[in-house]
Amino acid sequence: MKEINLEWYRSFYWCAKTGSLSRAAEKLHITQPAVSHTIKQLEDILGGALFLRGARGVQLTAEGELLFHYVEQAFNFMEAGQKKLLEMHRLDYGEIRIGAGDSLCKHYLLPYLDRYHRLYPNIRIRVTNRTTTETLALLKEGAIDLGIVHLPTEDNKADIEVSQPQQDCLVGGPSYAHLAEQPLRLRDLFQFPLLMLEEGTSTRRYLDHYAANLGVTLIPELELGSMDLLADFAKHGLGLAFVVRDYYAGELESGRLIEIPLAEPIQPRGIGIATLHGVPSSAAAKRFLELLPRAGAGAGT
């Protein structure tokens, strides 16, 4: 069947709705002869009359009634789609999908999610907890709109901005307070039980790389799946742990955790905001990205 111009159906729709070629022409901002010609083309293609012409206007034939039933539904669906799209742009409707690890969700992302939800309560927020590597994989698959990741990391299919710096530090419970009296050399860390994140996380790779540059291999006595667990175990005196200082500022201030100064300080790193390279963000994602802090102009991977 020959492809039919959508404008033909638009002329048919308004003729049927108004019962008049002239009123349809007014609606469509074209001439009445143009409407008549369009209807004639449609009737020729479909092989039958769609209207009965009379002195008072036009009336649908049986074939026209059947066609109008479907055309009216199609135009109603298009109108509904347009309305939903406008609602999405006004953030009256929509969804945002974010990927981030557990510690980043709790200690970085949560306040911004709370603010966003208060600003745009009709936007559904979906958060997927994954490691940095897994978050970038989800981003490239199109499963999330943006990812919050630990730096340093890079991917040629992702644009990564530095949101804010973060500083790793070594901590222990009150029973290790004596170690805070003078800087601890990293090579002497083997004398104490060491708690670390599991292998495969970006934080673990960063710390292993830091130690390797000093000729030291970090051998944890216990590997855990989250930084909060590391902090909890350290508070109970089960060993020393590397954590992000800002995440546990309250515990450090209260003395529940003690920072152990290192003779070879760990270089600061950062939190990254990852979006898919070359792919425009949705209106909902753009508004969320506007809420997140940036470390400064020119920051990147």
pLDDT at 200: 87
pLDDT tens-digit map of 172-227:
999 999 999 999 999 999 999 999 999 988 999 999 999 999 999 999 999 999 99
Which residues fall within 8 angstroms of residue 67, CB to CB, at 6 or more apart? 12, 46, 50
pLDDT at 301: 37
- Nearest alpha-carbon partner for 179 in 166, 191, 196, 195: 191
What end-to-end distance do the CA atoms of the chain give, in Å?
Answer: 54
User: Does 265 sit behind a cis peptide bond, omega within 30 degrees of 0 on the bond before it?
Assistant: no
pLDDT at 297: 42
Output the CA torsion sign for 132, 133, 134, 140.
positive
pLDDT at 300: 38
3-state secondary structure of 234: helix
CA separation for the pair 2, 77 (Å, rounded): 23
pLDDT at 2: 60
Structural domains of the chain sorted by starting position, each given as residue range(s) with its CATH number in brackets: 6-89 (1.10.10.10), 94-165+271-291 (3.40.190.10), 168-267 (3.40.190.10)
CB 293 within 8 A of CB 164: yes
Could you tell me the CA-to-CA distances from 245 to 77, 158, 214, 259 in Å, in that order?
Answer: 54, 28, 22, 9
Q: In which residue ranges of the chain is pLDDT below 70?
A: 1-4, 296-301
DSSP letter at 151 equals S
pLDDT at 4: 67
pLDDT tens-digit map of 44-54:
999 999 999 98
Helix (H), strand (E) at residue 68: helix 62-89
Name 172's bridge partners: 258
